Amino acid sequence: MSEIFERQPAASKPLVLPRGESASVDAAALDWQDCGAAGFAVKPLLEDSESGLRTWLMKVEAGAFSELHAHDEVEQIYVIEGSFYDQHNTYRAGDYIVRAPGAMHTAGSETGAIVMLFYSAA
């Protein structure tokens, strides 16, 4: 399996899963970070190594495309704005996609998109 998104040091530290409390981050104030895939940038919101949970916002530039790849975790995608596609379908704002660990897929956008990504252990 090949993970296309490199884990980069965060300019602002993402949240860790709170224990018995709440936590928040001003996502609008965070900078988009290069994630190692041309045309894709992320804002890590939550990264908890103990539970394996990750929540990111991802910006996909118009025309960006990622070749066939897979993730070791469950991947959930919620399209916030624009359109986002894989080898099966084009998804628009309000659409939700879930992929099993190891599910091979492409990713891209013809018009640009903002999506929320959730990663978790199976």
Q: Rounded mean pLDDT of 101-108? A: 97
Residue 3 pLDDT > 80: no
E strand intervals along 30-112: 33-34, 40-48, 53-60, 65-69, 74-85, 90-92, 96-99, 105-108
What values do phi and psi take at 54, rounded to 5? -140, 135
Domain boundaries, the chain: 38-120
Residue scoring higher pLDDT (90 or 5): 90
pLDDT of residue 2: 43
The structure's pTM equals 0.86
Vertex 30 angle, CA 25 and 32, to 5°: 135
pLDDT digits (tens, 9 = 90+) for 29-74: 999 999 999 999 999 999 998 889 999 999 999 999 999 999 999 9
CATH topology of domain 38-120: Jelly Rolls (2.60.120)
Sign of the alpha-carbon torsion through 47, 78, 103, 37: negative
Q: Rounded mean pLDDT of 21-25? A: 89
